[in-house]
Homo-oligomer: A and B are copies of this chain.
Amino acid sequence: MANQSAKPDARSKLLDAGLSLIRTKGYSATTVDDLCAAAGVTKGAFFHHFKSKDEFGVVAADHWSQTTGARFAHAPYHDHADPLDRVLGYVAFRKALLKGGVPEFTCLVGTMVQETYETSPAIRDACDRSISGHAETLEADIEAAMQDCGLSADWTPRTLALHIQAVLQGAFILAKAKGGAAIAADSIDHLTRYLELLFPPKDIDHQSKNQTRRT
């Protein structure tokens, strides 16, 4: 089932080609022939592994969740002792990922859900699982940071975690519109500033508004 690194089979070649093609051209504009050509396989292979293009979209979204999930699970921001530093480290990590061409750092499921949310419930659900599942990995740290700061807020860790995802998705749209990552980095800076303002510095007991920035 799981394919070892040695010989990539048609299925995983198609999925990897899909991640790249769909992020570049969108889901609808990516044809099955495009996918097969990019993967170096034939149409017979495609419909052997996926019973329709829509099912491929669902599997591609799940594949995206797995590959990106693994990347974030091993990222260094988890090493910080302080939960707030882990959250800020996550955002800094996302900013550091803004390298290369726009199709290389943008999000598959954010792109795909825009086109399919009304026409393909299965793909929409898969994209929701991907975004929401990823956001959930931040909730525990956000909650711990709230407790550390003694915050009793009228918002929940869940909405802040999803807000962080919203800023990232919106930053990707700006990057696409402007043809570069610079404006996305600016927007992520604003997000970092929000988090720093939201969680007042705790370590110094009641010292006034000293603006020491973490990293």
Contacts and interface: CB of A to CB of B under 8 A. Distances in A.
Interface of A: 24-29, 102-103, 109-111, 113-119, 124, 127-128, 131-132, 155, 159-160, 162-163, 165-171, 173-174, 176-179, 183-184, 186-187, 189-191, 193-194, 197-198
A168 B29 CA distance: 25
Contacts of A173: 110, 113-114, 131, 166, 169-170
A113 B176 contact: yes
B178 A174 contact: no
B187 A163 contact: yes
B103 A177 contact: no
A contacts with B: majority SS: helix
B179 A124 contact: yes
Contacts of A186: 155, 159, 162-163
Contact of A25 (B113, B118, B194, B198): B118
A143 to B, nearest CB: 16
